[in-house]
Chain A
Amino acid sequence: MIDQQKLYYIWIYLQAEPLFWLTLTIGSYLIADFIYRKSNLFPLLNPVALSVLLVSLILISFNIQYERYFDGAKFIHFLLGPATVALAIPIYRKWDLIVSNSKAILISLILGSFFAIFITYVLSLQFKLQEELIFSLLPRSVTAPIAMGISEIIGGIPSLTAIITLITGVVGASLGVFVFDLMKLKKMEARGFSLGLASHGIGTARAMSRDKNAGVFAAVGMGLSGLITSIIVPLFLKIIF
């Protein structure tokens, strides 16, 4: 006979500590990664998307507040900062390759970043979205902290922008490869750069897991598009309105 009361008290204790949520997060990732590998790296089974769904499903079915979960999982979240700094090392090791292609990078950067904003604006008008929502959508291609900053400056809602930005990352990381295959792009550097520019860190994570050069170019694309987008978006709005 199991002492239910006792189990309940243990659960109350455990759910207040980071240990349980850290184990859950890493466990879900390992399961998602296992499924992804078993599927021969099928892009729609993107490990980020899969593990996020897994954790969310557990939280929802046990009626657990997100804040409770994040309080434990924030230790994993914290590592995003150091990981961003660590991108300096692969970039450094491929520096000559980047410098010798700097013209290609610059032109693709300007065209790509401008197009990302323009197409978002045009599509938003097609769907007759309110102004506030359009402003929250415009900076969605760049890494969340930059996107949220831009959103705030131009009159969007930063928390909405955070959600939109993350969805953009997952969409790029899981569907991007179909676009590249359809267009018969052969150069890993082009695929990577495009992923980093259009879907920031999550796109970069995906590129990095497939090919070293793709990963480096993705990191470069992500960093540079973050920089240039924070300049272009306010300018773009000045021209439009």
Chain B
Amino acid sequence: MLNSIFIILLFQLMGEFIQKFFEFSIPGPVIGLIFLLSVLLIIKKINKKHEAFDTNLVISAENLLSYLPLLFIPVGVGVVMHLSLLEENLVSVLLVIVFGTLLTLALTGYVMEKLLKDNNLND
């Protein structure tokens, strides 16, 4: 358990460092994600028989991810408390967001549904 927490924090730390050092626009944790994924894939390639990680890492990661919605609450509350920043534009901005998001979801979902291969899904 502690090992997996350490691994995840370490990769985030590396990501944050690289983001600051090279002044990337991609956030540190996303760079950490790409790193961790690359390391896992490389280990798998070298060591074909074994899984690239111990089951603890999987359990910790999936535990954390099962609470993903909870983690958005502190910032979400900030949005509600600062809605007045949008002033008289609130309604128009909300309409742009709602219609823009729903249309984007529709288009992307449709294109993806048509292009996905049927044979290897749901495994």
A residues neighboring B (CB under 8 Å): 25-26, 28-29, 33, 47-49, 51-53, 55-56, 59-60, 66, 69-70, 73-74, 76-77, 79-93, 95-97, 100-101, 103-105, 107-108, 111-112, 115-116, 119-120, 123-124, 127-129, 133, 137, 140-141, 143-146, 149-150, 153, 159-160, 162-164, 166-172, 175-176, 179-180, 183, 185-191, 193-195, 197-199, 201-202, 204-206, 208-209, 213, 215, 221, 223, 226-227, 230
Distance between Cα atoms of A208 and B64 in the complex (Å): 12
In the complex, are the beta carbons of B115 and A108 less than 8 A apart? yes
Instruction: Identify which of B44, B85, B94, B109 contacts A185 (C-beta below 8 A).
Output: B109
Distance between Cα atoms of A233 and B40 in the complex (Å): 32
- Interface check B2, CB cutoff 8 A: no
Q: Closest B-chain residue to A106, C-beta based?
A: B115
In the complex, are the beta carbons of A149 and B96 less than 8 A apart? no
Q: Size range of the interface on B?
A: 35 or more
* Given A89-B62, A172-B101, 19 new contacts (CB under 8 A): A28-B73, A51-B73, A76-B70, A81-B29, A81-B32, A83-B71, A86-B8, A90-B61, A112-B104, A129-B93, A162-B78, A163-B85, A168-B101, A169-B72, A190-B110, A204-B68, A205-B69, A215-B65, A230-B25
Q: Closest B-chain residue to A206, C-beta based?
A: B69
Residue from A112, A175, A204 whose CB has the most chain B CB atoms within 10 Å: A112
B residues neighboring A (CB under 8 Å): 5, 8-9, 11-12, 15-16, 25-30, 32-34, 36-37, 40-41, 44, 52-53, 57-58, 60-62, 64-83, 85-86, 89, 92-113, 115-117, 120-123
Residue from B81, B82, B92, B122 whose CB has the most chain A CB atoms within 10 Å: B81
Using A188-B122, A195-B105 as known contacts, say yes or no to A101 and B78 having CB atoms under 8 A apart.
no
- Would you mind naming 9 contact pairs between A and B with Cβ atoms under 8 Å apart? A83-B67, A108-B112, A115-B104, A119-B100, A140-B97, A166-B79, A168-B100, A186-B113, A193-B108
Q: Smallest Cβ distance from A38 to chain B, in angstroms?
A: 16
| Residues from chain B with Cβ under 8 Å of A193 in the complex | 108-109, 112
In the complex, are the beta carbons of A55 and B77 less than 8 A apart? yes
Using A80-B29, A127-B92, A199-B101 as known contacts, say yes or no to A59 and B81 having CB atoms under 8 A apart.
yes
